[in-house]
Structure 1
Amino acid sequence: MDIKLLDLAIIVSGIIGYFISISLVTTSFYKSRANKFLALSLFLLTSLTFLGWYEIGNFVLQFLDNIMLELLVAVALFTYFLIHIEHKYLTKKWYRLLYFPFIGSVILELGVSFFDIVLNIYNPDFDAITYDIKDQLSFLYNVLLIFWGRYLVKKSNTISIEKKRWLLRLNLFIICIIICWLLSNIELYIYDSEFITSFLWILLSFLSWWILYYGIFKLQIIAQKDEIHQYLVSQKTTNTFVKKKINETTVSKIITELYTVMEEEELYKNPLLSRLDLANHLGTSEGYLSQIINQEISKSVIQFVNEYRIEAAKKLLQDPVFNKYSIVAIGMESGFKSKSAFYKTFNTSLGMSPGAFRKLQQKS
């Protein structure tokens, strides 16, 4: 790829990164305590990309590069994870000590700058040694906090499956960046080249676009889905599901219990619900459940579950209260795992897309 094209890509990604950072702390819909730390992390990573990609000649920029902003990124991301999972570490007194490595780096660099500018005493060997030490400590610190954060997110049971998936994906992306960081240092010391380093800056610049889609667009859908869910919970006493009539020829107790758990416990709203999960919930075997549903209802398990999901989605799409919410959020609240699964199943069942169905209901 041409260098000028890379320059352009990194500049555009940087602008996007700064724009997202500012939007997260100024836009009312996205403004939250967690997003403040995501904005700070993205702002710092974007700045590090510019500082690493372009030659630094300005004293102020050199100072920013030397104070190891990476140390602050590690704490900001760790805090972002903790806020989402509502972890008790945030209330601990020792938590503030996590900022000490960054503060220490700033104090050290201020001392070096004082000797250099005020006292006119400059030792390039000392400066190089301190920079290498700070760089290595910064790397280890990032590894510690990122993997610690990943462990806590995996262990948490206070957040939705969708939000946990997003946090783990973001964490994995940062781990990939850390791996590139390690490989770039190895390449520089052994081969005296910077091919992987260039790839690192490209990966960092790509992070802005990735967060824009998954961290902003996707999380907005999850937020909408949670809002819909909370509203439905608050209206549950007056907004019950219409019970299906069981065919008189149906004699199986399993089928009766199946209708009960689907309508009263709304198991179909779990996007990860499997045939085995349903069988275990009913206290029967997976094979017998499939057999009895096929014999008495003439459907497969997935067809049976999806019927409930479609009915739930239709009800939401018909209600003007939910017109402000995206169709994807409605599909997720109804139990579908993805947009494609929702659209495909809905179209197969009704012969039209969810969007067309909504428009039809609004006209009628």
Structure 2
Amino acid sequence: MNINTQILFFLSALGVFNSIVLSFYFLFFKQNKNKSDLFLGLLLLSLSVRIGKSVFFNFNHQLSKTYLQIGLSACFFIGPLLYFYVRSILQNLNYSFAKYSLLLAFTTISVLGFLFPYKVYAETWKGIIYYSINIQWFVFIVLSIYEARQVFKKLATNRNQISYHETWILSVIFGVSAIWLSYTLARYTSYISGSLTFSFSFYISFLLLFYVKNKTLIVTNKEKYLNKIEDKVVKEIQEQIDVLFETRKIYTNPDLTLSLLAKELNIRPQLLSQFINDNLNKSFAQFINEYRIDEAKRLLKESNQFKIDAVGFESGFNSSSTFYSTFKKITGTTPSNFQKE
């Protein structure tokens, strides 16, 4: 390998290596994982397998046919995983449907690979199977863009209102679309272009996310509250919270933070913070604890099977002492006296 080839290999493999590391982080090591993290981890892993196949084959044409088949098979999951990731971020996904869809995709590509292995039917894989996978990939990109249409609308009309999580959505969609386009045009450019595009998109996305996150952190409290939230928006936020808390009782999660709640509501953390502090005149802890105490009161009224400490944990408190002190502060009495009364 001459120096130019080495540099090309390094640049094209760099994104693959970092993507594998990041996929393992989202799949196995990230704390407080949610469903969107799992979809993102699987998406990055699928992209890594597909791009890795391109990198190694470009520099070693004697690469095992089995790995070539695995690399192309991974393409079959990129589109669906992108679509499910976007919908999960936007809180618009039926997880059972996603699970069975991915299982069906895995079964389909496995049976296809068993009946028509690449080493025997190479031309079939290079032809109809390759083009079918690319079409399926493109269809899911279009569906993902449609699901995120409000985010794209915000990008066009008021990009300053785009949240950190919405930036994630845009970065992933643009990155996956760029990789698809690179492979589609590879016959007119270079086979390695998809790998280079992946590395480029990977790092551009993280630079963008870093910029957005830091821009968010720079906003001061003074700046936040100079501009009051419109009454219409206040009402919408309260309605969203009422629906979320009534249907999922997310406040019973002892690890709930303002950022996590904002993500569930699909609004900026700064907007939620201003709503709670400025419009409700409460701290986040006070706001959540009031819901937890209401839940504890309901449990104390409806059933005697729970011990007092268990009621606290069921309501979302992570310690008995915090539950007792908060309960007395809000209600003026202790949990045991409340139950007796």
Shorter-chain TM-score: which interval?
0.5 to 0.7
How much has 1:173 moved relative to structure 2?
2.8
Q: Is the 8 A contact 1:181 1:197 kept in 2?
A: yes
Amino acid at match of 2:37: N
Cα distance in 2, alignment partners of residues 9 and 32 from structure 1: 32
Within 1, Cα distance between the matches of 2:268 and 2:29? 19
Cα offset for 1:102? 4.4
Question: Structure 2-normalised TM-score?
Answer: 0.54
Q: How does 1:229-308 map to 2 (within 5 A)?
A: 229-236=271-278, 239=281
Consecutive unaligned residues of structure 1, counting only runs of 5 or more, are 114-122, 185-192, 241-364
Q: Tell me the CA shift for residue 36 of structure 1.
A: 1.8
Unaligned residue ranges in structure 2 (runs of 5+) = 155-161, 218-266, 283-341
- Deviation of 1:146 after TM superposition, in Å, equals 0.6
Alignment partners' CA distance in 2, 1:98 and 1:140: 17
- Within a 5 Å distance, the mapping from 1:36-51 to structure 2 comes to 36-51=38-53
Structure 1 residue 228: Cα displacement: 4.6
Aligned equivalents of 1:94, 1:32: Cα separation in 2: 14
- C-alpha change, 1:26 and 1:228, in structure 2 (3 Å) is farther
Q: Which residue matches 2:134?
A: 139
Q: Are the aligned partners of 1:69 and 1:102 in contact in 2 as well (CA < 8 Å)? A: no
8 A Cα contact 2:164 2:268, kept in partner = no
Alpha-carbon spacing, 1:162–1:238, altered in 2? closer, same or farther (3 Å)? closer
Cα pair 1:10 1:205 within 8 Å, conserved? yes
Matched, 1:182 2:171: no
| Residue of structure 1 in register with 2:174 after alignment | 172
Q: Partner amino acid for 1:90?
A: N
Q: 1:28 to 1:228 in 2, by over 3 A?
A: farther
Cα distance change, pair 213–37 in 1 and its aligned pair in 2 (3 A): farther
Who is 1:129 aligned against?
Answer: 124
Q: Which amino acid aligns with 1:78?
A: Y
- Contact between 1:24 and 1:30, CA under 8 Å: does it hold in 2? no
Specify the alignment match of 1:197 in structure 2: 191
Distance of aligned partners of 1:19 and 1:221 in 2 relative to their CA distance in 1, 3 Å threshold: farther
Number of residue pairs aligned between Structure 1 and Structure 2? 220
- Aligned equivalent of 2:87: 82
Q: d(CA) in 2 for partners of 1:103 and 1:231? A: 46
Q: Is the counterpart of residue 15 in structure 1 residue 10 in structure 2?
A: no
Cα drift, residue 4 of structure 1: 1.0
Taking the aligned partners of 1:74 and 1:154, their CA distance within structure 2 comes to 17
Shift of 1:215: 4.8
TM-score of the superposed pair, with normalisation by structure 1 = 0.51
User: Post-superposition shift, 1:38?
Assistant: 1.4
**For the residues of structure 2 that align with 1:52 and 1:42, how far apart are their CA atoms?**
15
Contact 1:72 1:99 in 2 (8 A): no
Question: Cα offset for 1:98?
Answer: 5.9
Note the C-alpha offset of 1:25.
Answer: 3.3
**1:228-251, Cα deviation, whole Å (9 max, x unpaired):** 5434433336759xxxxxxxxxxx
What residue number does 2:107 align with? 103
Alignment of 1:61-72 (within 5 A): 61-66=67-72, 68-72=73-77
Q: What root-mean-square deviation, in Å, do the aligned CA atoms of Structure 1 and Structure 2 show?
A: 3.7
Structure index of larger Rg: 1
In 2: Cα distance, 1:130 partner to 1:199 partner = 20
CA offsets, 1:93-119, max 9 Å, x none? 488336534431221112235xxxxxx
Identity of aligned residues (%): 11
- Asked if 1:206 corresponds to 2:211, the answer is no
Counterpart position of 2:36: 34
For 1:48, the aligned partner's letter is R
C-alpha change, 1:14 and 1:180, in structure 2 (3 Å) is closer
